[in-house]
């Protein structure tokens, strides 16, 4: 039975900062959660809620091997347990704002039933595969540790949130997978309410190689609905063994990332690993309904698990790609950028192969390649939800969309492609790169124009602000119109910062050239869930450094 020092934890959390630890009794198998650092801790956690001041909360989790026979599994479970206990208020708010909202509409009932059935069967298959293969295949050992961390998270949620759903931890991590499953499974099963792609672009990325290799900058912003704006900056150190035998640890025991309450991977996505990699992505839409036939509950590992494993085991872009491509789920399909800072030297001549790797996923197909020379030639690489590889462009149906609906679906002529081509030179250091990732001057920028009733769209920008579009306007694409949606953050790292797993981050919709977003003055405040969020999102950038 789990013992929890609830009163002490509540007192610490009320102060806005807390340190807790988890111990494990090998004889009984019990875990105990303590205020402060208890003797013999296997995991400790440090939480600081700075949302009111910066828009971010911060969480550090550190594990250390115990004398337990199954020390890694114990550490993984304890890590999830600690996160749930120390961030329970944020998790409860995020479940209400996001997880419950995904299936809140009556029209979603059949689709969400199909998703839940898929999750149940897929998780059963995955656990059986872990049980049968972990001893001989390090990949499945790492998958099992991710599931143990999720199980600990679920236990902690049930400890601290009355009436919590039994699959809360899964949904907190798999909600991006669920978005594609809501589309693809009804198409497969011909359920009522089957629909096409969401048409919601997700994120912008810039990789900037400065002249004479003066620095290498990586920037990312997250495009999503505003009910998701409960943000956590996390650093997680879990020195797992790479295999069932031997003392070697995984390539990246530590991963720092921007994420959400309860998220084991970023889901933004923006990670910096202690193996010298930055892994980040922008989403890709699948317009080809035939590809959804590749969705299967067996021989498939959900995307968030594959990302978590790849981040832990990879020390290069090629290795990350090789780990990630195994058991492609065909869900949360993205263009991934893997930047290898070990291949970069300030002031060196040329660009070493392996510096930048790009991987793209669709149901049934995952391709990737070293694009370092593209970066070196142009001085930048930008990502904006358009496929780079011709085969992905073709099979996804994006090529057909371009022929039928125009250059918005073009890798070269999309508005953001043109914005990055014009403005990447403005990113000369971390500060200016962050400013570029927050850029939106849609009423004055000719590249933000569209065949709309207003003449422009706040979505045609590096940092979207769809909430500033005309609710009564007419737009050629739904995504160009009004929604409570936009770029809710920006993060930038550099060669020096990445060495320390640090970056600069700014929370909330961009307000550099636009009014700050404020819930209390929004006409949508009564219809969009935002419990626990700050009211006014007008925050300065923060330096993301770590205590441990």
CA dist 307 and 323 (Å) reads: 9
- Arithmetic mean of pLDDT, 175-193: 82
Per-residue confidence band for 16, with pLDDT thresholds at 50, 70 and 90: low
SS3 220: strand
Cβ neighbours of residue 195 closer than 8 Å, sequence gap 6 or more: 182, 183, 186
- Arithmetic mean of pLDDT, 79-87: 99
CA dist 487 and 223 (Å) reads: 4
- Arithmetic mean of pLDDT, 59-86: 94
| Range scoring the smallest mean pLDDT among 12-26, 270-284, 380-394, 483-497 | 12-26
Residue-level pLDDT at 3:
43
Residues β-bridged to residue 340: 277
Residue 69 lies in a domain: no
CA dist 197 and 508 (Å) reads: 26
Per-residue confidence band for 13, with pLDDT thresholds at 50, 70 and 90: very low
In degrees and rounded to multiples of 5, residue 62 shows phi and psi of -130, 130
Alpha-carbon distances, residue 204 vs 49, 265, 270, 359, 461 (angstroms): 27, 18, 11, 16, 10
- CATH number for the domain spanning 475: value is 3.60.60.20
CA dist 306 and 299 (Å) reads: 13
Residue 228 lies in a domain: yes
The domain of 421 spans: 202-544
Residue 235: pLDDT above 90?
yes
| Range scoring the smallest mean pLDDT among 67-71, 136-140, 535-539 | 67-71
| pLDDT digits 0-9 by tens, 237-267 | 999 999 877 669 999 999 999 999 999 999 9
Residue 223 lies in a domain: yes
The number of beta carbons lying within 10 Å of the beta carbon of residue 104 is 11
Residue 133 lies in a domain: no
Cβ neighbours of residue 284 closer than 8 Å, sequence gap 6 or more: 333, 334, 335, 360, 361, 362, 385, 386, 387, 392, 396, 398
Residue 77 lies in a domain: no
Identify the sign of the CA torsion 261, 265, 269, 270.
positive
Residue 5: pLDDT above 50?
no
Where in 251-355 does DSSP place strands (E)?
Answer: 254-259, 270-273, 277-283, 334-340
> Can the peptide bond before residue 8 be classed as cis, meaning omega within 30 degrees of 0?
no
Residue 54: pLDDT above 70?
yes
Per-residue confidence band for 186, with pLDDT thresholds at 50, 70 and 90: confident
CA dist 544 and 546 (Å) reads: 7
Residue-level pLDDT at 479:
95
SS3 467: helix
Residue 407: pLDDT above 50?
yes
Residue 120 lies in a domain: no
Residue 104 lies in a domain: no
Residue 483: pLDDT above 70?
yes
Residue 171 lies in a domain: no
Q: Provide the whole-model pTM.
A: 0.96
Spacing of C-alpha 129 from chain mean position: 25
Identify the sign of the CA torsion 207, 209, 210, 213.
positive
Overall domain count for the chain? 1
For the chain, give the percent of residues with pLDDT over 70.
Answer: 94
| pLDDT digits 0-9 by tens, 305-314 | 999 999 999 9
- Arithmetic mean of pLDDT, 328-356: 98
């Amino acid at each position: 039975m789990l013992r929890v020092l609830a009163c002490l934890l509540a007192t610490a959390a009320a102060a806005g900062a807390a340190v807790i630890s988890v111990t494990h009794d090998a004889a009984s198998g019990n875990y105990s959660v303590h205020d402060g650092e208890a003797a013999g801790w296997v995991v400790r956690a440090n939480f600081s809620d700075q949302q009111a001041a910066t828009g971010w909360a911060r969480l550090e989790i550190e594990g250390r091997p115990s004398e337990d026979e199954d020390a890694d599994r114990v550490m993984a479970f304890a890590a999830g347990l600690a996160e749930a206990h120390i961030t329970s208020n944020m998790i409860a708010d995020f479940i209400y704002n996001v997880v419950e909202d995904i299936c809140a509409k009556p029209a979603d009932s059949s689709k969400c039933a199909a998703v839940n059935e898929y999750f149940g069967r897929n998780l059963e298959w995955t656990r059986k595969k872990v049980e049968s293969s972990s001893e001989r295949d390090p990949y499945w050992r790492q998958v099992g540790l991710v599931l143990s961390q999720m199980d600990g998270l679920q236990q902690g949620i049930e400890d601290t949130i009355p009436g919590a759903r039994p699959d809360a931890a899964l949904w907190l991590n798999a909600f991006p997978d669920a978005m594609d499953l809501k589309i693809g499974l009804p198409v497969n099963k011909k359920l009522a309410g089957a629909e096409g792609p969401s048409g919601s672009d997700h994120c912008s990325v810039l990789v900037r190689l400065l002249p004479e290799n003066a620095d290498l900058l990586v920037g990312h912003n997250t495009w999503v609905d505003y009910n998701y704006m409960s943000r956590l900056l996390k650093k997680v150190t879990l020195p797992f063994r790479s295999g069932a035998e031997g003392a070697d640890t995984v390539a990246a025991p530590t991963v720092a990332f921007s994420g959400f309450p309860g998220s084991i991977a970023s889901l933004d996505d923006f990670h910096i690993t202690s193996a010298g990699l930055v892994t980040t992505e922008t989403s890709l839409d699948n317009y080809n309904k035939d590809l959804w036939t590749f969705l299967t509950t067996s021989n498939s590992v959900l995307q968030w698990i594959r990302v978590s494993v790849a981040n832990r085991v990879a020390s290069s872009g090629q290795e990350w790609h090789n780990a990630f491509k195994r058991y492609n789920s065909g869900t949360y399909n993205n263009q991934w950028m893997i930047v290898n800072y070990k291949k970069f030297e300030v002031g060196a001549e040329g660009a070493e192969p392996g510096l930048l790797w790009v991987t793209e996923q669709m149901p049934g197909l995952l391709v990737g390649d070293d694009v370092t020379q593209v970066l070196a030639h142009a001085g930048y690489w930008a990502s904006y939800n358009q496929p780079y590889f011709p085969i992905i462009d073709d099979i996804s149906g994006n090529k057909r969309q371009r022929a039928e609906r125009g250059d918005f679906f073009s890798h070269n002529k999309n508005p953001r492609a043109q914005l990055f081509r014009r403005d990447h030179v403005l990113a000369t250091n971390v500060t200016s790169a962050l400013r570029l990732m927050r850029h939106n001057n849609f009423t004055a920028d000719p590249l933000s124009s569209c065949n709309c009733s207003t003449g422009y769209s706040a979505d045609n920008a590096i940092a979207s602000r769809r909430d500033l579009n005309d609710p009564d306007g007419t737009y050629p694409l739904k995504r160009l119109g009004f929604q409570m949606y936009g770029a809710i953050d920006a993060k930038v790292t550099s060669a020096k910062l990445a060495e320390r797993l640090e970056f600069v981050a700014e929370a909330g919709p961009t307000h550099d050239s636009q009014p700050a977003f404020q819930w209390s003055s929004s006409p949508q405040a009564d219809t969009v869930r935002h419990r626990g969020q700050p009211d006014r999102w007008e925050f300065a950038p923060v330096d993301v450094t770590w205590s441990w």
